[in-house]
Amino acid sequence: MTDLSAPLSALALQAAGALGGPVDQDYLFQARQMQALSLGWHIIIVCFGVAFPAIVLFAEGMWLRTGDPLYRALARRWSKAMLVLFAVGVVSGTILSFELGLLWPEFMATFGDVFGVAFALEGFSFFTEAIFIAIYVYGWDRLPRVVHFLTGIPIVIAGVAGSLFVISVNGWMNNPTGFDLVDGRVTDVRPLEALFNGNLWYQFTHMWLAAFMVAGFSVAGVYAWAWLRGRRDRYHRAGFLIAFTVAALVSPVQILVGDWAARQVAENQPVKLAAFEGLGETTSGAPLTVLGWYRDGEVVAGIPIPRLLSLLTERDPDAVVQGLDVVPPEDRPPVNVVRLSFQTMVGIGTLLALLSAVYLATWWRRRRPPRSRWFYRSAVAAGPLAAVALLSGWITTEVGRQPWIVYEVMRVEEAVTGAGGIPVGYGMLVAVYAALTVGAAWILRRLARSPLRDEVEGAESLARQEPAR
């Protein structure tokens, strides 16, 4: 990978758009904001498409195994929320497909045939997910129990496969392979090489685990809130335990995957890593600086930990880490945005791993979840915090890619549309997404408040108080 990026970057300024080269676009920033808004909205919903089906299916599996109607009630309730979230994911995902062309026609025209196959495969995953989510949700009580459970499995597989293919495209944008540039023209396209680019596996794994963290902590947070409000029956307890356990098992692993990801970034995109850390100059024995602010080539008011960055990236405290100075200023991303996002992600990720460790340790020693109110308050906060960490991570990788849309090959200003009216479209989209957010929140709240008898005959017996201890 590294030997390939060198000749590509040498050719970078010659990459010519297939539609005839860059246009003057006064609203590049708004176009980027528009794409960011749609993607940021979608990526949170996607977590539920990727991870939630597995959690729902686990609950249904528990029902099949134990025959306890409690699990069936949970699975049914969750499957309705899953359907709503999938529906808004369908529409917000469609917007993204449109926007790729509407906002970045030069990017699509020049490179659509290089990375497009990943999207074609994603399309089939999407199809499969849409088909089986309908069968699953509308099939409750109508299909034989085991058949119904089995129809949930394609949802899980398709959700994961779909995210894999989308991440493949994003990985390719960060680590473009599978084509040659001759006089700025894309030639000798090798779609499979683009599909399985060097960034695919770590980005996918990182995102996949993040999806389980966001979905698990968010769902658990609903029940933690109920616990704090005194609803501590078996139903709420089981809802909390299933969702929180999933997230708690994943969170510590995410730290290891995050380390893997950072080292891959150091190898493939050293300028991006320098932006993560605010490393102005190429340094041997580079320190890792916590907090602070990047100004004029260095981090001010931060807490430096000597040699840690070299140790983390190269496993050698004296190793040389490339700084932002390896490329001219116009090729550097906005350091503070990237760095702040990165630190937010790492900070929240660490806190969530600690919370998970508390939970797992209590479970290990006492065979029960923690009983402290502070634990449940933290669990309520964990869902939104996981979403903030997810968005921060995504800002880290996407803003860290700037000014490139295709890393070191095509700049965003070369890719943008020549069409006017972008601020109008942006304003409309902000209003639309605000309405969608309010609507989705309203519907999920309504769903959460509807009585349990909608799901299960005789469900009132589930709302039995836990015996006092």
Partner 1 sequence: MSLAELVGALLVLGLTAYAVLGGADFGTGVWDLTAGRGPRADRIRAQAESSMGPVWEANHVWLIFVLVVFWTGFPVAFGSVMSTLSVPLFLAAVGIIFRGSAFAFRGVAASGRARRPLDALFALSSILTPFFMGAAIGGIASGRVPVGNAAGDPVASWLNPTSAIVGAIAVATGAYLAAVYLAADAARAGRADLVEAFRRRGLLSGAVAGALALGGLAVLRADARPLYDGLVGAPGLALVALSAAAGVATLALVWRRAFGPARVGAAAAVAAVLWGWVVAQRPDLLPGEITIEQAAASRPTLVAVLVAFLAGALVLVPSLAYLFRLVLRDRLQKELPPLGEPGRGGPLP
Q: Per CB under 8 A, which of residues 177..216 are in contact with partner 1?
A: 187-192
Q: Smallest gap, in angstroms, from Cβ of residue 269 to partner 1?
A: 25
Residues 134-173: x/- map of binding to partner 1 (CB under 8 A)? xx-xxxxxxx----------x-------------------
Closest CB to partner 1 among 367 and 449?
A: 449
Residues 35-74: x/- map of binding to partner 1 (CB under 8 A)? ----------------------------------------
Q: Does 323 bind partner 1 (CB under 8 A)?
A: no
How many residues touch partner 1 under the rule CB under 8 A: the total is 84
Q: Smallest gap, in angstroms, from Cβ of residue 156 to partner 1?
A: 14
| Of residues 98-137, those binding partner 1 (CB under 8 A) | 98-102, 105-106, 108-114, 116-117, 119-124, 126-128, 130-135, 137
Closest CB to partner 1 among 7 and 123?
A: 123
Closest CB to partner 1 among 120 and 361?
A: 120
Closest CB to partner 1 among 133 and 266?
A: 133
Q: What's the distance, Cα to Cα, between the start and end of the chain in Å?
A: 60
| Of residues 326-365, those binding partner 1 (CB under 8 A) | none
Q: Which of 4, 9, 11, 23 binds partner 1 (CB under 8 A)?
A: 23
Comparing CA positions, the residue from 74, 93, 92 lying closest to residue 82 is 74
**Residue type for 450, please?**
S
Residue located via tokens 């390939």: 4
| Of residues 237-266, those binding partner 1 (CB under 8 A) | none
Find the angle CA(83)-CA(89)-CA(90) to the nearest 5 degrees: 90
Q: Smallest gap, in angstroms, from Cβ of residue 135 to partner 1?
A: 6
| Of residues 430-459, those binding partner 1 (CB under 8 A) | 432, 436, 439-440, 442-443, 446-447, 449-451, 453-454
Comparing CA positions, the residue from 347, 395, 393, 354 lying closest to residue 374 is 354
| Of residues 68-87, those binding partner 1 (CB under 8 A) | 80, 83-84, 86-87
| Of residues 271-310, those binding partner 1 (CB under 8 A) | none
- Cross-strand bridge partners of residue 404: 411
- Cross-strand bridge partners of residue 300: 293
Residue 184, φ and ψ in degrees, nearest 5: 80, -5
What is d(CA 213, CA 200) in angstroms, rounded to the nearest whole number? 20
Rg of the chain over all Cα atoms, to the nearest angstrom:
24
**Residue 417 corresponds to which tokens in the numbers above?**
């549309």
What is d(CA 188, CA 178) in angstroms, rounded to the nearest whole number? 8
- Cross-strand bridge partners of residue 304: 289
Q: Which of 5, 92, 264, 322 binds partner 1 (CB under 8 A)?
A: 92
Which residue stretch of 12-20, 199-207, 279-287, 342-350 sits at the interface with partner 1 (rule: CB under 8 A)? Answer: 12-20
Cβ within 8 Å of residue 316, ≥6 positions away: 310
What is d(CA 250, CA 146) in angstroms, rounded to the nearest whole number? 28
In Å, what is the CA distance from 451 to each residue of 185, 316, 447, 458, 462?
61, 59, 9, 11, 12
Helices (H), 67-144: 69-103, 105-138
| Of residues 379-418, those binding partner 1 (CB under 8 A) | 417-418
Cβ within 8 Å of residue 176, ≥6 positions away: 8, 111, 114, 194, 197, 406, 407, 408, 409
Q: Which of 11, 18, 253, 360 binds partner 1 (CB under 8 A)?
A: 18
Closest CB to partner 1 among 154 and 383?
A: 154
Q: Smallest gap, in angstroms, from Cβ of residue 363 to partner 1?
A: 34
Closest CB to partner 1 among 450 and 461?
A: 450
Closest CB to partner 1 among 152 and 349?
A: 152
Q: Which of 394, 425, 459, 462 binds partner 1 (CB under 8 A)?
A: 425
DSSP-derived 3-state class of residue 290: strand
